[in-house]
Structure 1
């Protein structure tokens, strides 16, 4: 869900995570092209000869200052981006890139948007949320990439890339697969004789949680964002904006009711999942709960790699396996995994070096983002060296994962979709999820309320 990254995760409002502080913005130097000079030799028409030109200065190439670019992104520099630009800078002395971190929350995105319209240096930048990406395009802050004809985004990234087109044009390149999935403690599965799921629904997810729960061990854990993943995935087939053919909201449907009911039962009947109100109060670090063996399953995204790979600070003795996000019903054939492609890298139209920025983006998408794999970011380009990415992703911790299951989920062919639910609706709907999971609303009432706020915003958008 980067793309769908999930509005709370994407906007940094997850109660269970707090990202690192902002990096410092770099300076862009305008390249100086020093033209070579030469003196003219005497020309003697009578003899029909001319003396060769003599250079009066070193060549232009020898004195040309390198192009300097800044790339803004939301990932901490030590989690891959700094290594990316360091690799590029070594290979390309004529084009030097500096990475600038912005925190991917409301304040951080506002800082980026302000920089884009000011004199601050921003040549390239990442968008993690479709609504913000579209807003930047409409504000004239993203370059139309159709001027470049040497890179076929659709061919490189697959059908999911087209969801990032605006007016049938690309204003950024989606560079990674973003999806939600379930981490599992494989040792606990083995002890119960349970296989790693490859295709399941919420009923099976509930059954696993019930069988895996134990003394001081929750069967499953997930932050508030992920409650809407099965719901949204069930509606993506209808519309990227989750509306019916008649233009009204699709949230009021039996699958929404069932999803809300299953999660409520897991909290209050089975007691296999921490009650939402308790989670709000105690604000547990769910990723740390997982590596400590305090929950058998964890609904998350690729960001979990920062914790599961860090066996020094978070030692564990069990193997980690992965399963796809559960559908609402296992037999759904039109289910689309919410998330799609993400990490869209765009060029600021105000850059003085668009060609240099484009050269960097092509390199980044096809091979340059390799250091990002260690943090769990899955490249979307078909030409990316997958085996190298997997090797780096598990370097030094290979024996602590069920790698086959992780590769199946993260590098497989699950149908991916991109949610275009507007941010306002997502924020307002979260209040409703909170009420359902604190038993202030029934699942049936909750589904109607989700549709109600969505319909109000759909109508407002038409005005």
Structure 2
């Protein structure tokens, strides 16, 4: 949330983490083609056939100090025959282009993380992600649950979704207690607006959120257990009454209630919203688990209040078909050109089922049913357990909240952001804005069919 590019990252990739590039490793083989891995080949590489250890590189968007380096250090210690190096890339347009270029060049990329479905799908179509059906010793659907299937392309997995990604509302529980307000377990935008009004005060916003989160209730109302944001006739579903209502609520919060920072002011001042929250300058913050990096850092960001969590508000509280945008993410794929696909696959399985434990401290919730959840929770809150309302956080992060994955393409997302900017600067009414969101979407839907 440090800058506008960061704030907009989530609009085009609902489970996205911004981040910078480093590193190198062993060379890949450009001549190896996608179909060379046999399902009958052992997935347990042996050091006996190799004097020197197999060297692999794993590219990802998370800073190494926030978990990835500890992950590969743990692996390397226990697997002297297969040594992994972590390479960080920035999860933005330039960074993804750099990774895509490396995947088809002589640069070493054996494994890589995907954070956005449309980018992931393009890599698959370009032949840059290995078809994992060639391995028969790991059932992704069984391990990760029904949400994993949204990452299938042409009925096959080309990566393993390793974490759960949800957007939710962080709350200053002390402020709630002072107003006699319970931690919400199920609510809509009307209730969210009411809470913000009651919690606002002198130099305290009732709520804060970056521009991406304005579309979370909207997309969640459209998804309805689907990955498409269209009506049955294939046209855009953005021009519907729920979209109009959501835009009205947020506009009223900005300009009538003054309970949330006006969009234009936020764009101008570029506030660090996570720091605003820990400083007590906003009572609620619409965000994701990535805020753990700030709320857990009580040394640099001391606070005296307890943090609680509530699910993302629906547009209407009584909606029964609402889907929380986010779903499973952090999809770990293998480069078809790697010299050591079996070794890479061994690492992928290990990472998903337990190896990613150091990532939990940064708020990444593992998706595998075989992951040691108690260990993950313990690591997430180690040393700061008493500063959280753990019941509410566990309910949101580890509960059975229905999730879905939006596959809205980057072009539509970027163009729709301009529409949101115009709505929240009062250049368009909510009614006009909903129609414009649909128009942009429809144009790109038509273009994709050509």
Q: TM-score range by the shorter chain?
A: over 0.9
Native 8 Å contact 1:12 1:106 kept in 2: no
Equivalents in 1 of 2:299, 2:166: separation in Å?
27
Match of 1:48 in 2: none
Native 8 Å contact 2:23 2:87 kept in 1: yes
Q: Which structure is larger by alpha-carbon Rg, 1 or 2?
A: 1
By how many angstroms is 1:9 displaced? 2.5
Task: Give runs of aligned pairs for residues 281-320 of structure 1, distance below 5 A.
Answer: 281-320=268-307
Match of 1:182 in 2: 169
2:318 pairs with one of 331, 346, 364:
331
By how many angstroms is 1:302 displaced? 1.1
Change (3 A) 1:115 1:195: same
Once the two structures are superposed, what CA deviation does each residue of 1:378-432 show, in whole Å capped at 9, x if it has no partner?
Answer: 0000010100000000001111111111111011110010001111111000000
Equivalents in 2 of 1:238, 1:261: separation in Å?
25
- SS, match of residue 257 in structure 2: coil
Q: What are structure 2's unaligned runs of at least 5 residues?
A: 1-5, 30-45
Change (3 A) 1:25 1:60: closer
Equivalents in 2 of 1:366, 1:60: separation in Å?
23
Match of 2:384 in 1: 397
Consecutive aligned runs of 4 or more in structure 1 exceeding 6 Å deviation: 11-14
Change (3 A) 1:229 1:268: same
Match of 2:394 in 1: 407
Match of 1:203 in 2: 190
Equivalents in 2 of 1:417, 1:346: separation in Å?
21
Match of 1:248 in 2: 235
Native 8 Å contact 2:19 2:63 kept in 1: yes
By how many angstroms is 1:154 displaced? 0.2
Native 8 Å contact 1:28 1:70 kept in 2: no
Aligned residues: 428
Change (3 A) 1:207 1:359: same
Q: What are structure 1's unaligned runs of at least 5 residues?
A: 1-5, 31-58
RMSD: 2.0
Task: Give runs of aligned pairs for residues 60-459 of structure 1, distance below 5 A.
Answer: 61=48, 64-237=51-224, 239-459=226-446
Native 8 Å contact 1:10 1:128 kept in 2: no
Match of 2:8 in 1: 8
Equivalents in 2 of 1:71, 1:397: separation in Å?
31
Equivalents in 1 of 2:47, 2:13: separation in Å?
51
By how many angstroms is 1:247 displaced? 0.9
Equivalents in 2 of 1:314, 1:397: separation in Å?
12
Native 8 Å contact 2:279 2:301 kept in 1: yes
- TM-score normalized by the length of structure 2: 0.92
By how many angstroms is 1:239 displaced? 4.1
Equivalents in 1 of 2:427, 2:379: separation in Å?
46
Native 8 Å contact 1:10 1:129 kept in 2: no
Native 8 Å contact 1:337 1:415 kept in 2: yes
- TM-score normalized by the length of structure 1: 0.90
Change (3 A) 1:382 1:430: same
Match of 1:45 in 2: none
Once the two structures are superposed, what CA deviation does each residue of 1:304-355 show, in whole Å capped at 9, x if it has no partner?
Answer: 1111111111111100000000000000000000000000000000001000
Native 8 Å contact 1:307 1:314 kept in 2: yes
Change (3 A) 1:292 1:20: same
